[in-house]
Structure 1
Amino acid sequence: MTTNEPSPNESSPNETSAPLSFPRQYARTQRFTLGAPRGFTVSPDGERVVFLRSSSGTHREQLLWVLDLAEGAAPRERVAADPRELLGGAAERLSAEERARRERSREGSAGIVSYAVDRAVELAAFALSGRLFTAELRAGTARELAVPGPVIDPRPSPDGRHVAYVARGTLRVVGADGDGDRAVAEPEEAETAYGLAEFVAAEEMGRGRGFWWSPESDRLLVARVDESPVARWWIADPARPEAEPQRVAYPAAGTANADVGLFLVGLDGDREEVLWDRARYPYLARVHWSADGPPLLLVQARDQRTQVHLAVDAATGETRTVHVDEDPVWLDLHPGTPAWDPQGRLVRIADEGGARVLAVGDRALTGASLQLRAVLDVGANDVLVAAAAGAEAKDPELGETHVYRVNELGVERVSEGPGVHSAVRGGAVTVLSSARVNVPGSVTRVLRDGRELAVIASSAEQPLISARVRLVEGGARRIPCAVLLPSGYEEGDGPLPVLMDPYGGPHGQRVVAAHNAHVTSQWFADQGFAVVVADGRGTPGRSPAWEKEIAGDLSKTLEDQVEALRSLAGSFPLDLGRVAIRGWSYGGFLAAMAVLRRPDVFHAAVVGAPVTDHRLYDTHYTERYQGGTPQDLPEVYRANSLVWDGELTEAREPARPMMIIHGLADDNVVVAHSLLLSSALLAAGRPHEVLPLTGVTHMTPQEQVAENLLRLQVDFLRRSL
């Protein structure tokens, strides 16, 4: 089934004449991400940087670009593929599977939203409207390959001679010249698919793909996903009673996951099953296949306290254990790992000695001065990583992330100046993107052996307002905080009503040294609030122990919001008699918990897409942080949920006003969470408002919706305080 929706950026004629407001700008620029270059790939010869960028800060369609870096010539940008030309001006049409993939990756733009390349970075493949296209990156030409669709996740072979892709659950391979299309792995039953990631892999593990080419381009590792064990949920659109509900496979906590296997598949369809103890380690978390070693898997136990690195015999499918990780609380998954280095040593990120360290082979190459975030590239003589300052850093900077080169000789910082930095590397060329707290947007520099060759231009709009953010620590726990006061506020203006603006949970660091991360909080501040963003226990950045302290007890995230608020009142003009809290997803859960359990501190809450009953959220996330399944730990699930067994009848007085917002098309945090909360509030006689968003998912990408949500929240907060 395909759908054809109007662009969220379309405006009616009478809207275009109105002065541009920050909420409108924030919505139409998709949080100021449109027009910014992203998705970088560097050719191994250092002659090309490939990337995506829309033509302006308000156009959703991403184009494929090439920056030529040939020796002796000035760097030059050129378009390698323009989706408007390739589709002949026709509107983009997405299959249900592609829409789901974009929802899992939180992709709200259009056009060429992702691409894959061959080893030499000379051929790119991508899908548009379910059709397969390739681009010759040296020549700058693009063409369509006529194949069955709708096409999902096309990827060239390393030698550039073939392209593999998925269509209707079948993995297919076609020649790069468009000839010889054939199926190499076909589903045996309606509930199975080859080459795709299952829900929890894409939503929670950071694995959005389901097949991997061999370095020799003669075989593929292919995931087989059988969703028949997974419970079926129905997501309906109440605004369209004539439409059938969407049937989705949703593995809620304590229920069955999809059955995921892995096969070595030849181009002729011959295959061998990859064998490991899938009953003990059902989660296929990572797959790595490079010329530096055999296929490498990372598989996890369902409780996520044990994971095993497995090397695969590419001839037989047999596996051998390379390394085992164990943790009494949980094990995290990290971007870029595991991998082999050119010497055949295992590269991984591990929790050791109270820090998150880079381990290569048998050695930890970093210590407590760094907290590793990701492996960015494994080179011949070093590993490029992203890391924050650790507990033993001499001069840690709050909210910063830097890029480092690491080898046996030591650690060298590549990024310069305070901020949040990331990088992509190929050979001697590094693409370094840097965001700073006092400068809007980010700057992307291209370096060769440390020398700047070019700056990749950004077309992103600059926010109409400037974030005046103070990064501080609050309370005895030194909770990272960002504080924003109204523009023009002076000390004699008196105390301000407070808006706590957290995410406050796992994976959701909000206190970062980057300007655009705080512009929405600044807009709320300019409406007359002192805004506080606090990253308490559970959020990333401090240490593994800081993150894992919330295991089985999510109320600690609320305790830290209270501690941060009260500690900052001595340094900032906070009126503790007027305190509101707003949040989305985990932040929505935290906001609801705040007014229900601590009405002595919080006086109103905006509750966006909250997880109110953790039995209704997915296995991989929920069972990790609750410490097990609802069947094994009913008392833990009860303590951490808001609507189970009389939570609201036990809620403390006085009752505080609450605005609940939820998209009816949300297939991640389904609207049942908010409906159950509203029903329980009504039964308990507690005041609240409900704002249902028709056709809106967990992302809320629609321009008018995103704009008006900001305005309605401010109206509610003013009324409530």
Structure 2
Amino acid sequence: MSFPRQQARTQRFTIGVPRAFQVSPDGRRVAFLRGRDGADTATCLWIHEAEGSGTAAVIADPRTLGADDEDLPPEERARRERLRESGGGIVSYTVDEAFTRAVFTLSGRLFYVDLVGDDTAPRELPATTPVVDPRISPAGDRVAYVSGGAVRVIDVSGAEPDHGDRVVAEPDGPDVTWGLAELVAAEEMGRYRGFWWAPDGSSLAAARVDESDVNTWYVSDPGRPGQEPASLRYPPAGGTNADVRLAVFPVGPAGRRGPGERPEPVWVEWDREALPYLATVGWTTGPDGTPTLVFTAQSRDQRTLELFSADPATGLVAGARTETDDVWVELMPGVPAHTRSGELVWIGREAGGERRVYVGNRPVSPADVYVRGVVDVDGDRVLYSGSPPERPGDVSLWLVELDTGLSAPVEVPGHGRTGSDADAHGGLRSGRLRGDTLVVQHRSMEFTGVRTVVLRGAGTETRRSHSEIESLAEAPDLPEPRVEFWRAGERRIPSALVLPSWYRGEQHPLPVLVAPYGGPHAQRVLNARGAYLTAQWYAEQGFAVLIADGRGTPGLGVEWEQSVHLDLAGPVLEDQVAALEDAAERFDCLDLSRVGIHGWSFGGYLSALAVLRRPDVFHAAVAGAPVIDWTLYDTHYTERYLGTPEGEPGAYERSSLLAEAAKLERPLMMIHGLADDNVAFAHTQRMSSALMAAGRPHTVLPLSGVTHSPSDPTVAENLMLLQVEFLKESLRGEG
């Protein structure tokens, strides 16, 4: 089997990798999702015993439940697109606080499974279909979910007819939904949810989203002319956003209310004109056990982020913390959070400094560590992720013990070069922490794939025990990646060069394929083999593949990220050229008379930009799903970097490609899914029209029915083959 086909069939070798971990309060059991093998798309729910045999058993298998993923409701398809979730079967689940019950959905139907006792067979609940995003209450007795834009609650026990399925909040207008995240929240803010249980299960907080004033865009499939275009509400830069409000609803067992009686909302009001973006929502418990709602709201220009607390009984709001920045405030994963004693866990930065993890007002992370996010807070322990100084390609975990003051990177026994500094920090690590148990996933250049280790005794210097959760992912049919790492040029740009396994220096010089993402929030130069599988395959076809993380990408610092402010074109392109020139000085095997570039999304934008502005350097480009005109991209992302089109017209002119169509003199292929609701096909269509008007030959490859991330194995396989053929043919005449 060819590598492109294998990679497509295994969804980039992610099928069979354990994920979505939940840990029991005592730390003895770990729930997770995984297929039965490396090509099984029917993801199952498993339980791993952290002590004793360390075995894992299937708790719920979609094949035994008569449900498949062919009949997903539109809201669920949209939610998965935002999450870039291409798997099938059980793709998400929630557990109650005591880890006794789990709930999930299959084909819009609601299921639960008991995690303790003798009878652990999954059961279906008679919920109103289609069911979207079900979440179990902390006590495990009820499930909240969204159906038809309404938030509903159903009891797990059958004491009431239809398990007491009832409406908590329902739309009061044709463009209103409850309990679902709006597009920019899910796509750009990392908020995929729209309702939240109180810790004691007494109430639900829910977001009301009114999109009546948001632009309506239409996504059609020309391959199906008889099918009506799908409409979506999309807020382009400078346009009107959804109106988002927050309310708390008291909820209780169905028997406490009369038939059809619905709880009255307690509205949570803040200055939504000044702070329109609802960024995060959650709960904490006060010293007396009373639940308190906590949420963050961000200004439209994203220079202010404020943390609020609210009384769920009255809706009264109080400000708790304010973060400001002259450029923008980054929304950081995992915060706000709270320790067992109620102290706030936060990520902030002092003027001119880097971001740090704070507990209360004291920093608990070193000043020289690039903080990526808080992973978990368990009692008085904080687990956070970050990159060590001068090693942006590593992502490590640090565990902070607040009662002892100890803070140290998490080491994983049995991995890498034991005892070395590389083993302590090297590679990519992610995890979960609960009940004195730490689940760590480790990726490295030392091995292929992902290793998952369950550490018991997380807070002790010598772990009491550890076990592994096996990855069933297929091994790639590909030589081990041959990668050279260095920091390029005066700006010390993180760079990697991938060479063919068969290449020896005495052979002819290699054409270069530059393969960037190059933009905010994505990093490609990472110390993990899995990051270079696709690049190695391209190298095996006869290229030297160059990957560089220039200004704007994460991993180095705030100043590096913010250097693209008001110009998303100039700095990122300059850094790709600088990395290429530096590579040519270091490696004498590169043929700079034959340089191609390819990328997807922002990388597609950068690829098209390269051949338009620097045809002297780049001789052919493949631009996948490229952003061409930033006025067509969404508000929260675009305005963070460029401001609004009305306020900063020069920034949009500097960053747009449409006005430069007449400059094209190199081969350009644009690939775009016609069903893409993130970067609309209008980008490629407008660029093609501008090129046609200028008489510039180019190639457009439209993908019928494909969204922003192609998931069909045949399409994904052939895209790689077609790109290689286009690049080889385009560069053949160069040199």
Q: What TM-score does the superposition give when structure 2 sets the normalisation length?
A: 0.92
Q: In 2, Cα distance between the equivalents of 1:192 and 1:579?
A: 50
Find the residue that maps to 1:570 and give its secondary structure: helix
**Residue 472 (str. 1) matches residue 522 (str. 2):** no
Indicate yes or no: 2:428 matched with 1:432: no
User: Structure 2 CA distance, aligned partners of 1:334 and 1:269?
Assistant: 34
Aligned twin of 1:287: 281
| Structure 1 unmatched ranges of 5 or more | 1-19, 391-395
Of 562, 569, 574, 2:577 maps to 562
Query: After the TM superposition, which residues 120-131 of structure 1 pair with which residues of structure 2 at under 5 Å, given as runs?
Result: 120-131=98-109
Question: In structure 2, what is the equivalent of residue 12 of structure 1?
Answer: none
Structure 1 residue 363: Cα displacement: 1.4
SS in 2 for 1:567: helix
Aligned to 2:270: 276
2:16 to 25, 35, 58: 35
Q: Does 1:602 align with 2:586?
A: no
Cα deviation digits, residues 613-671 of structure 1 (max 9, x gap): 00000000000011x1111111211110101xx3223x3x7x01101100001010000
**Residue correspondences, number:** 688
Superposed, 1:633-648 pairs within 5 Å as 633-643=648-658, 646-648=659-661
Write the distance in 1 (CA, Å) between the matches of 2:717 and 2:141. Answer: 46
Task: Show the counterpart of 1:4.
Answer: none
Q: Could you say what secondary structure the match of 1:569 adopts? A: helix
Matched, 1:660 2:670: yes
Identify the residue that residue 324 of structure 1 maps to in structure 2: 322
Q: Does 1:82 align with 2:61?
A: yes
Alignment map for 1:130-209 (pairs within 5 Å): 130-139=108-117, 140-178=120-158, 179-209=163-193
C-alpha displacement at 1:93, in angstroms? 1.2
Q: Which residue of 1 aligns with 2:712?
A: 702
Indicate the SS of the match to 1:523.
Answer: helix
Q: Name the amino acid aligned to 2:79.
A: R
Matched AA of 1:371: Y
Whole-Å Cα distance in 1 between the matches of residues 56 and 102 of structure 2? 16
Name the CA shift for 1:91/1:569 in 2 (closer, same or farther; >3 Å). Answer: closer
The corresponding residue for 2:255 is none
Mapped contact 1:599–1:656 kept (Cα < 8 A): yes
User: One-letter code of the match for 1:614?
Assistant: W
TM-score normalized by structure 1? 0.94
Checking the alignment, whether the CA contact within 8 Å between 2:341 and 2:380 is kept in structure 1 is no
What secondary structure does 2:450 align onto?
strand
**Letter paired with 2:13:** F
Q: CA deviation at 1:170?
A: 0.6
CA apart distance, 1:427: 1.1
Q: 2-side partners of 1:528 and 1:553: how far apart?
A: 34
Is the 1:365–1:410 contact (alpha carbons within 8 Å) kept by the matching residues of 2? no
Could you tell me how far 1:342 is from its partner in structure 2? 1.9
Deviation at 1:398, TM superposition (A): 4.5
Q: 1:215 aligns with which of 199, 217, 232?
A: 199
Tell me how far apart the structure 2 counterparts of residues 310 and 508 of structure 1 sit (CA, whole Å).
30
Instruction: Pick from 379, 395, 399 the counterpart of residue 393 of structure 2.
Output: 399
Classify 1:311/1:535 alpha carbon distance in 2 versus 1 (closer, same or farther; 3 Å). Answer: same
Identify which range, 289-298 or 433-442, moves more after superposition. 289-298
8 Å contact from structure 1 (residues 404, 413) kept in 2: yes
The SS at the match of 1:441 is coil
Mapping for residues 6-45 of structure 1, pairs under 5 Å:
20-45=1-26
Equivalence for 1:302: 300
- Residue of structure 2 in register with 1:461 after alignment: 474
Task: Map 1:409-424 onto structure 2 (within 5 A).
Answer: 409-416=405-412, 417=423, 418-424=426-432
CA-atom RMSD, angstroms? 1.3
Q: Secondary structure at the match of 2:127?
A: coil
Q: Which amino acid aligns with 1:679?
A: S
User: Are residues 1:52 and 2:30 paired?
Assistant: no
Letter in 2 for 1:224: R
How far apart, CA to CA, are the structure 1 residues paired with 2:676 and 2:706?
Answer: 7
Deviations 1:304-359 (A, max 9, x none): 00010001112111111111000011111111111122222221111335322101
- Deviation, structure 1 residue 410: 4.4
Displacement of 1:530 after TM fit?
A: 0.5
For 1:292-691, list aligned pairs within 5 A.
Answer: 294-352=292-350, 353-390=352-389, 396-407=390-401, 409-416=405-412, 417=423, 418-449=426-457, 450-465=463-478, 466-554=480-568, 555-572=570-587, 573-626=589-642, 628-643=643-658, 646-649=659-662, 651=663, 655-691=665-701
| 3-state SS in 2 of match to 1:101 | helix
**Structure 1 consecutive aligned stretches of length 4 or more whose deviation exceeds 6 Å:** none
Query: Displacement of 1:531 after TM fit?
Result: 0.3
Partner of 2:460: none
Residue 379 of structure 1 deviates from its aligned partner by 2.5
Q: Which residue of 1 aligns with 2:415?
A: none
Residues 231-256 of structure 1 deviation map (CA, whole Å, 9 limit, x = unaligned): 10011000000000001100111110
Measure how far apart 1:436 and its partner are: 0.5
Match of 2:256 in 1: none
Partner of 1:8: none
Q: Residue 308 of structure 1: SS of its match in structure 2?
A: strand
